[in-house]
A and B are shown apart, each in its own frame.
Chain A
Amino acid sequence: MIRALYSAGSGMVAQQVNIDNIAHNLANANTVGFKMRRTQFQDLMYQTLSQPGAAATAQTVIPTGLQLGLGARASSNSIVFEQGSFQLTGNSLDMVVQGKGFFQIRRPSGELAYTRGGQFHLDRDGNVVTQDGDPLEPQITIPPNAQAITIAADGTVSFSQPGQAASQVVGQIQLANFVNPAGLNSLGRNLYAPTDASGEPVVGNPGGQEGIGALLQGYTENSNVNVVEEFISMIVSQRAYEANTKVVKAADEMYQQVNNVAR
């Protein structure tokens, strides 16, 4: 009896985690460069009441034992790095990585972080920075008299000056790639940090290395949250939660009846 109560309880906890994750995905449906997470579930321990293959008599064995499972848990929610759709903004410092690469961001602590959100701005010194003011790495500085900024597919940043026909190159944006991007640590604010599971970043020029991806100027990458899919997951999760509450109720009622046996 107690087993059923706790198994159903663990199922409810697992579904709560799932709903939490769905809520996070939906809340970020409009976050530029956001990558959704998908929850995975696993079964818990099994209590073996009779071992399969144990001897029933001298000649025969029990074909299947009695193992009672003790519930489920949410085992992981890995980041899904599917490409999001592109949206035209016309802003010259908006960029999309068409591939697996990440922009490198120098955080205030001096450490590097990685992001897919390619919405950049200029600070007062002309440095290309994120919305939070963290500079892009390698640093790109645009002089104040620059007119049109052009970012090529290979990351070369150039600008034109009034009265001059030739454009000037100020630097090249480099991207980082990871062996196992799903193992990255989310820092919030769209930033990721490498871990032992993700492997060390492999830095390269956009469009060069296999799979790192080329840059596309004037576009932003929408989040890869599929709202319809999330809603369906939500319905499934809610129903699974409800089914588990029914088991709790059944266990409770059966317990009550046991108590009624002894009058």
Chain B
Amino acid sequence: MDALTATAAAGIRSRVEALDLLANNLANANSTGYKADRELYQRYAAAEAYDATTGAYDPTQQPDIDSRWTDFSQGVLASTGDALDVALEGKGFFVTQTNGKAAGSSPELLYTRDGHFRLVPIEDPQPLRRSRLETQDGLPVLGNEGKPILLDPRRPIEFGRDGSVRQDGQVVNRLLVVDPAQPQQAQLLEKRSGNYFAFDAPNPLPRATAAEVHQGKLETANVTPAESAVRLINVMRQFESLQKALQIGGEMNRRSVEEVAKFS
């Protein structure tokens, strides 16, 4: 294959993947705490340019989507009025833990910005009949010392800006809100289904310093329709141009074969 066709084909493939990312973003435009995915294109330069600058031309380098990155910008905090809905303003994540009951799995920490919580009765050995704060999938929301938060369901619950949980004016626990120490580490958060992120690192993430908790609100996805529409047009038009390039390449090949090498 000639360079033009190969490059254009790689470009087309990457635009298809860009559309996949965009489709997922738009499908999740109403998912609470969803963070949009964006693509990163690998740099592509011609062989001559490599020779002139860094040297070492790598023929496998194509303008592929190398990776995606997650746009962790703040979503809008929409008011719900539900006392068990909490939203985060600023960088940070609530922490939950899987029970590890599924075959071959061990308890794993999952991070989320979806603060649609509920109180679920548990078997409390004490006569307090406390309930556990859980996400909508039934994973416990962690508080002090990385333990589940147990609350008295019969008394009003207040969340402070710093994540403190108060009942009857007493601070009974504090939501664990964490964030990677270095901003670029946030990109190592791996997306899981159900608005969760996983972070594969030996040390647990440190407490967030720049996150505020807002009660009675939920964070909407940071996908805006207008911006997505522009991106959609971009992807489609780039795809079209690349398809034209592919056609021109094919046409050039055809001419060189049929007309240049013509002998009568």
Contacts and interface: CB of A to CB of B under 8 A. Distances in A.
B68 A67 contact: yes
Contacts of B119: 179-180
B30 A18 contact: yes
Given A75-B136, A257-B239, A183 B120 contact: yes
A64 B27 contact: no
Contact of B131 (A62, A180, A251): A180
A197 B154 contact: no
Given A38-B80, A254-B19, A53 B200 contact: yes
A46 B16 contact: no
B205 to A, nearest CB: 15
B40 A64 contact: yes
Contact of B240 (A48, A69, A251, A257): A257
B67 A50 contact: yes
A258 interface: yes
A78 B67 contact: no
Given A64-B187, A183-B120, A258 B12 contact: yes
Interface string A186-217: 00000000000111101000000111000000
Contact of A246 (B80, B155, B232): B232
Interface string B252-263: 000000000000
Interface string A1-36: 101110110110011001000000000000000000
Contacts of B69: 64
B16 A244 contact: no
A80 B81 CA distance: 9
B67 A63 contact: yes
Interface of B: 12, 15-17, 19-32, 34, 37, 40, 65-70, 80-82, 114, 116, 118-121, 129, 131, 136-137, 153-156, 184, 187-188, 190-195, 200, 225, 228-229, 232, 235-236, 239-240, 243, 246-247, 250
Interface string A43-54: 111101110110
Contact of A82 (B81, B184, B188, B240): B81
A122 interface: no
B26 A75 contact: no
B186 to A, nearest CB: 10
Interface residues of A, number: 70
A202 to B, nearest CB: 8
A42 B154 contact: no
A89 interface: no
Contacts of A14: 27, 30
A234 interface: no
Q: Which 9 interchain pairs have the tightest Cβ spacing?
A: A11-B27, A69-B24, A199-B121, A7-B23, A4-B23, A41-B31, A179-B153, A72-B27, A64-B67
Contacts of B239: 254, 257
Contact of B67 (A18, A66, A257): A66
A149 interface: no
B243 A258 contact: yes
Interface stretch (A110-118, A128-136, A160-168, A235-243): A235-243
